[in-house]
Amino acid sequence: MLTAEENDLLCHVGPGTPMGQLMREYWIPALLSQELPAPDCDPVRVMLLGEPLIAFRDTAGRVGLIQNHCPHRGASLFYGRNEEYGLRCVYHGWKFDVQGRCLDMPNEPPESDFKHKLRARAYPCVERGGVVWAYLGPRATPPPLPDLPANQLPEGEYWVGAIQHECNWLQALEGDVDTSHASFLHYGALKPEDTQPDTFLYWMLADRAPRYQVADTPYGLIYGAYRPATPGHQYWRIAQFLFPFYSQAPEGVLGKSLITHALVPMDDHHTLRIMMQGRRFRRAPIQGTTARLPAFMSPLQPNGTGWFDRFRAQATAANEYGMDRARQRQGLSYTGIDDVRVEDNAVTESMGPIYDRTQEHLAVSDVAVIRMRRRLLGAVRAYQAGAPAPAVDQPEVYRAFPGGVVLPDGADWLKAAEAAGEALAREAPGR
């Protein structure tokens, strides 16, 4: 378990907090490109690392991310007019471009040069792979974007999506790193005999208590959960944590899977999961099952205009996540919830906005979660002492690949992961 001080250090991400400042050293996935569908479209409220910001796409198609309050008298720029290469405050007409430069002060006399002395706080933005990336850090020249293969695919070859978690970012991330929960939370109602023999799902259900191997990497952490497969072989589920908040789940086959999830802190109590995945590497349908499997993408509410009205699932705590107790009692569903993402939301949000980790009792199966916390604590403490953010200037180390693989007993799983990753990287962008 963590101490109260350690828990606070990891969970709080607002401006001026140690973890928040560390995260600002990295490019942050702020929103999806589709949220700003056309030049001069409606602005979007974006809460990012506890800072309220306004995103807009100007007449030239460039994305700006600017402070919420107009530097003049504090009116929200969300109500601004997005027109002619800038966002114009409706209070007095002051207009700002994507770089925060003041273009116009129509209520000032013509001889005034005040507009040349004033800037709104604005953050650099770039678009790649359907995601708007923002740099909120102190560098005049931002670091390179991370070489995440799932975010470097040509148009038409990738899929992006998002869903909001109403809890702290670390709870959501720990759920991803905790690989053993899939055998219960998501597939607990299935029996091995319900599935096709000698498949990944069969072996996962035949042994729901895998063993683990964990290793530190320049980008964060690689971990493998292994269990018996065919005679003389083991089934490995290999996955990664990447600084500062990325997970790569072991979905699909190692060497054929391109997937990255960013658990982006909106504030201390809300997290936006941005999902990036290669279309041709997406999960294949699970064959040979006689049971009903949970869906993998939650129906979402229409996006609203509030700070936390983006990518909210239709199933929430307010409606008990759509839980069907009858199906649960009948053994047709382990949770009574018919969607994997909603199942994840139900358990992580039920812990409260920020879980008190002084109350937990960790076990052998939590080894990857424990190591990830140590990596994060080490990084933020080193950063407080003046060290650079881990891997922030090493974009190439983010070329990591997750997935499942069957290996002979005693095989070097790290070498197998490296070989499979190199094979996939040769056909994926970023090399």
User: Rounded distance, CA 239 to CA 180, Å?
Assistant: 12
Structural tokens at position 181: 């929960």
| Torsion of Cα atoms, 147 then 14 then 340 then 279, to 10° | -20
Given a contact cutoff of 8 angstroms between Cβ atoms, the answer to whether 223 and 212 are in contact is yes
Question: What's the confidence (pLDDT) of residue 130?
Answer: 98
Question: What's the confidence (pLDDT) of residue 428?
Answer: 54
| Four-residue CA torsion sign, 405, 131, 78, 120 | positive
Taking 50 as the pLDDT cut, the residues of the chain under it are 282-288, 290-291, 430-431
Given a contact cutoff of 8 angstroms between Cβ atoms, the answer to whether 135 and 122 are in contact is no
Structural tokens at position 126: 């770039």
Question: What's the confidence (pLDDT) of residue 417?
Answer: 86
Helix (H, G, I), strand (E, B) or coil at 245: coil
Closest Cα partner for 415 from 213, 256, 243, 229?
213
Question: What's the confidence (pLDDT) of residue 94?
Answer: 97
Q: 367-384 vs 4-11: helix axis angle to the nearest 10?
A: 80
**Domains of the chain: residue spans and CATH:** 27-142 (2.102.10.10), 150-427 (3.90.380)
